[in-house]
Amino acid sequence: MNNDIEKVLFDQTQLDKRMDEMADELNQKYADKQPIIIPVLNGAMIFASDMIKRLNFKLTIDPIKASSYAGAESTGKVKITQDIKSDVKDQPVIFMEDIIDTGRTLQALSEVMKDRGAASVEVVAMLDKPTTRVVDFHADYYGFQAPDAFLVGYGLDYNGLYRNLPYVGILKRKIYA
């Protein structure tokens, strides 16, 4: 797998340091609240798990599965394939996402939770890729700004592969072209 990586962008040490910083902010903000943490599967599994372990306030975890991708291409349509079970009415909601790319998925999911009556909706993303944004959407917290490249590792995948790499790297073009 490592041979398929052109360059490592963010290693485990960098990821850990930034997650510690984001967790400090969240721990202050949510100290007296009980938010529903919604990891966006499958990509956010690893990031969300590592982030949640750093949070020291009461919370509920309820994952959602949504997609707007087929292989390497965004389809432009967001589809919820596994919904949450929690009632978000009057509850703070925090989405945990691996990467904000076009912005469509998180914008659509945020609107769904607002329509369901969530007290607030915030987004914590490992990576933000503003150069590929097609809608006006911004994370409340993000780890790193990412370049416009095909990224894998630490939850990010190409056709289901590479999620288990312990870093975020750029996939060699020959692998997905």
For 110, phi then psi, to 5°, come to: -60, -45
What distance in Å separates the CA atoms of residue 37 and residue 150, rounded to the nearest whole number?
A: 27
Which position among 50, 98, 101, 157 bears the catalytic label?
101
> Active-site residue 101, yes or no?
yes
What distance in Å separates the CA atoms of residue 8 and residue 107, rounded to the nearest whole number?
A: 29
Distance from CA of residue 10 to its chain's centroid?
Answer: 15
- Alpha-carbon separation of residue 90 from 22, 35, 36, 59, 67 (angstroms): 24, 10, 11, 14, 26
CB contact set of 126 (below 8 Å; sequence gap of 6+): 15, 44, 47, 97, 98, 99, 142, 143, 144, 154, 155, 168
Catalytic residue IDs: 101
